[in-house]
Amino acid sequence: MAILVIEHVSKFFGGLAANSDVSFSMEEGSIMGLIGPNGAGKTTLFNCITGYYPPSKGVIWFEGRKMNGLQPDKVCKLGMARTWQKVRPLAKMTVLDNVVVGALARTNSLRVAREMAMAQLEVVRLHGKAGFLAGGLPIGERKKLEVARVLATGPKLLLLDEVMGGLNPAESEEIIQLILDIRTRGLTQMVIEHDMKAIMRISDRIVVLNSGEKLAEGSPDEVVNNQDVVDAYLGESHAED
Amino acid sequence: MTFSPSTRTGLSAGAALLLLAALAIVPRFVQSPYALHVLILIFLSTIMGQAWNILGGYTGQYSVGHAAYFGVGAYVTVSLMLHRQIAPWVGMWAGAAAVVVVALVIGSICFRLRGPYFVLASIAVTEIMRLVATNLKDLTNGAEGILATEIPPLKFGATVITDFGSKVPFYYIGLGLAVLTILVTWAVTHSKLGYCFQAIREDQDAAHSLGINPTLYKNIALAISAVLTSFAGAFYAIYVGFVDPPTVLGLDLSVQIVLICIIGGIGTIQGPMVGACILVPLSEILRSNAVPELLMKWGWMNGESGIGLFLKENLAHAHVLIYGILVVLVILYMPEGLVGFLRRVTRGRRAA
């Protein structure tokens, strides 16, 4: 069953179309890669899906429910959670408390929230730093904290915005394993990523955006061999791999 | 020496109880009305600072318009006492109810804005209220203010507990209200509310994406903060017995409230207490002639010399200037306030 359906979504800023007539759907439990050059409208689409911007046109359906016009906090409680391209740790709170804030979306009890938070910190292997201030973490751990925090909100669909950006290969590999782990738990994930090798490895399907429009959609193999995608984005070298 | 977190909580709770016990017996040993007056002012400042701290310190919304809630609490309590013979400890709840309405109206205007724009809006709204109070002569007696020194005696059944003849009853009311605000702050910070407030302070957009409705929680923080501030206003009004727009609705007061927290330490439970304990005596000392007198007593200055005469005559007049310079120095060198500064120093020593 499709968990998320994007129907003819457009987002205009003045005369600029950041997204225009984008449609696709996601199967429950799958991983979808969202790729495209800078300025293609990937993050704008995330913002439309998660309630930060109302779409100018089109409809977003989540589990058969129309999401247009819902505020981000409502979207989160309905089971969609997103991370931020530029990480947003709650700097003066501890690592544990950052995740507790996420868990409080599901419970009113601090004790329960702490237990849930600790469990998620173990998933991303940050439990050793639970008492540290989030603002003092290096970038790799901030990205993991971001993932733990959204996991704690108990989502069905995760939207990950460049969680590997700025990481070294070893750290990226950890995140890839984490994403694959999360899939085995039945969560659906939409992943924006610039690292082509990584996105090809983890995605079941890929949507390519270019200048706000959907350029192509398909399995990783289909997308790599699509001539439009190669021209617009991947370039010659990748096509010859 | 290091303690586990629970031991440390136990220790600070013990220390707090000891301090409270000591404060409770102070009037038995201190007869000087002036000393009690200074302590009452410290309680008042603690209440105002701690109340602001909930919105400014924990939720990150730097309101420079808290005089609005102080003033409404003061005016409602005093007017009800004067015109309707309603006792202030009943009237203050009416004041609190009025303040919640005012706070939600102000919140619905100001919380559309963030950062410096919110600060400016909070100042503007309170200035509007000061002007309205100055001109609504039927309700507030305008710029002349309201004089209300006749406080009905506090009775329990037929027994009169106090007739407010001395400063002692005010001392205990101030202490009680200060303890109440501190307990409310403690309860808030140790609950879901506190986490939501702090998440909004750290990053409103991130908090929003984690299921927190920022508008709702900012208004809750404002309502709690405003009600506690209105209690301070009501207490001030019956203690001083006089309210007029510049003193209870003025920008001076709004700034004073923020300073208590800045000096003590924003977003800490001890900060407002520390700030009040520094600022109140400081302004009292500077306002009196105590400094030149001490300098002369210690022989550092000759009372007959030109400088001596000049200081003796002018230093007290310059108290606002000196106060201002000291505040600037603290902000420059201890941007996290005294509590934050001390924490950093002790942490540095522990690490070394």
DSSP B153-208: PEEETTEEEE---SSHHHHHHHHHHHHHHHHHHHHHHTSHHHHHHHHHHH-HHHHH
Residue B157 counted as domain residue: yes
pLDDT in tens, A166-205: 888 888 999 999 999 999 999 999 999 888 888 999 999 9
On chain A, the residues whose CB falls within 8 A of the CB of B205 are 52, 72, 84, 88
> Which residues, other chains included, contact A51 with Cβ-Cβ below 8 Å and sequence gap of 6+?
A67, A70, A71, A72, A74, A75
Residue ranges making up the domain that contains B302: 288-352
User: Of B198, B213, B267, which has the smallest distance from its Cβ to A71's Cβ?
Assistant: B213
Cα separation, A68 vs A74, in Å, equals: 11
Please give the residue that has the higher pLDDT: either B134 or B307: B134
pLDDT in tens, A68-109: 889 999 999 999 999 998 899 999 999 999 999 999 999 999
CA B5 to chain centre: 29
Residues B189 and B295 in one domain: no
Contact A104 B207 (CB under 8 A): no
Residue B48 counted as domain residue: yes
Residues 162-191 of B with CB under 8 A from A: 190-191
Beta bridge partners of A158: A81, A189
Residues B329 and B210 in one domain: no
User: Of B192, B201, B210, which has the smallest distance from its Cβ to A110's Cβ?
Assistant: B192
Residue B142 counted as domain residue: yes
Residue B93 counted as domain residue: yes
Residues B205 and B304 in one domain: no
- Percent share of chain A, pLDDT over 90: 57
- Percent share of chain B, pLDDT over 70: 95
A237 falls in which pLDDT band (50, 70, 90)? low
Task: Tell me if chain A has a CB within 8 Å of the CB of B149.
Answer: no
User: Of A82, A90, A113, which has the smallest distance from its Cβ to B203's Cβ?
Assistant: A90
Task: Tell me if chain A has a CB within 8 Å of the CB of B344.
Answer: no
Q: Which of B198, B209, B217 is the mutation pick for testing A, counting most A CBs within 10 A?
A: B209
Q: Which of A173, A43, A238, A237 has the alpha carbon at shortest distance from A221?
A: A238
Q: Which of A71, A88, A101 is the mutation pick for testing B, counting most B CBs within 10 A?
A: A101
Mean pLDDT of A125-147: 91
Residue with tokens 């003025």: B250
Please give the residue that has the higher pLDDT: either A69 or B300: A69
Cα separation, B181 vs B229, in Å, equals: 9
pLDDT reported for residue B66: 93
Residue B305 counted as domain residue: yes
Residue B175 counted as domain residue: yes
Half-sphere exposure of B88 (CA within 13 A, CB side): 26
Q: Which of B268, B272, B277, B265 has the alpha carbon at shortest distance from B330?
A: B265
Res B352 pLDDT > 80: no
Mean pLDDT of B191-213: 94
A5 falls in which pLDDT band (50, 70, 90)? very high
pLDDT reported for residue B4: 59
Please give the mean pLDDT across all residues of chain B.
Answer: 86
Q: Where are the extended beta strands (E) located within B1-65?
A: none
Which residue on chain A is closest to B217 by alpha carbon? Answer: A73
A241 falls in which pLDDT band (50, 70, 90)? very low
Cα separation, A1 vs B301, in Å, equals: 89
Residue with tokens 């400063």: B167
Secondary structure element (H or E) that encloses residue A10, with its range:
strand A2-13
Estimate the crossing angle of helix B67-83 against helix B214-240, to 10 degrees: 50
Cα separation, A185 vs A135, in Å, equals: 30
Contact B203 A149 (CB under 8 A): no
Residues B41 and B148 in one domain: yes
B202 falls in which pLDDT band (50, 70, 90)? very high
User: Of B190, B191, B210, which has the smallest distance from its Cβ to A101's Cβ?
Assistant: B210
Question: In chain B, how many domains are there?
Answer: 2
On chain A, the residues whose CB falls within 8 A of the CB of B203 are 88-90
A223–chain B nearest CA distance, Å: 31
Cα separation, B88 vs B146, in Å, equals: 15
Mean pLDDT of B227-231: 96
On chain A, the residues whose CB falls within 8 A of the CB of B190 are 110
Cα separation, B19 vs B84, in Å, equals: 39
The one-letter amino acid at A207: V
Question: Taking a C-beta distance cutoff of 8 angstroms, is the pair B67, B258 a contact?
Answer: no
B82 falls in which pLDDT band (50, 70, 90)? confident
Secondary structure element (H or E) that encloses residue B27, with its range:
helix B5-29
User: Of A72, A73, A91, which has the smallest distance from its Cβ to B202's Cβ?
Assistant: A91
> Which residues, other chains included, contact A1 with Cβ-Cβ below 8 Å and sequence gap of 6+?
A27, A28
Mean pLDDT of B269-274: 92
| A21 φψ region: left (φ > 0), alpha (ψ -120 to 50), beta (else) | left
Cα separation, B259 vs B331, in Å, equals: 10
Res A238 pLDDT > 70: no
Name the domain boundary from B235, B268, B301: B268
Name the domain boundary from B268, B299, B322: B268
Question: Taking a C-beta distance cutoff of 8 angstroms, is the pair B96, B73 a contact?
Answer: yes
Mean pLDDT of B281-299: 77
On chain A, the residues whose CB falls within 8 A of the CB of B202 are 89-93
pLDDT reported for residue A71: 93
Q: Which of A225, A153, A212 has the alpha carbon at shortest distance from B210?
A: A153
Residues B223 and B107 in one domain: yes
pLDDT reported for residue B332: 86
Residues B207 and B252 in one domain: yes
Residue B17 counted as domain residue: no
Residues B125 and B233 in one domain: yes
On chain B, the residues whose CB falls within 8 A of the CB of A84 are 205-206, 209
Mean pLDDT of B192-206: 94
Residues B258 and B350 in one domain: no
Residues B108 and B38 in one domain: yes
Res A239 pLDDT > 50: no
Residues B167 and B299 in one domain: no
| A51 φψ region: left (φ > 0), alpha (ψ -120 to 50), beta (else) | left
Residues B39 and B153 in one domain: yes
pLDDT reported for residue B153: 77
Residue B7 counted as domain residue: no
For residues A67, B207, B216 and A153, what is the CA-based torsion angle, rounded to 10 degrees?
60
Instruction: Specify the range with the lowest mean pLDDT, choosing from A204-213, B16-25, B231-240, B283-292.
Output: B283-292
Question: Taking a C-beta distance cutoff of 8 angstroms, is the pair B61, B120 a contact?
Answer: no
Q: Highest-confidence range of B7-21, B127-141, B219-233, by mean pLDDT?
A: B219-233
Residues B107 and B158 in one domain: yes
pLDDT in tens, A29-67: 999 999 988 888 899 999 999 999 999 999 999 998 999
Name the domain boundary from B199, B233, B268: B268
Task: Tell me if chain A has a CB within 8 Å of the CB of B136.
Answer: no
3 state DSSP class of A210: strand
User: Of A72, A93, A113, which has the smallest distance from its Cβ to B208's Cβ?
Assistant: A72
Which residue on chain A is closest to B210 by alpha carbon? Answer: A102
Secondary structure element (H or E) that encloses residue B307, with its range:
helix B306-314
Sign for the pseudo-dihedral over CA of B304, B310, B316, B321: negative
Question: Taking a C-beta distance cutoff of 8 angstroms, is the pair B65, B122 a contact?
Answer: yes
Which residue on chain A is closest to B199 by alpha carbon? Answer: A90
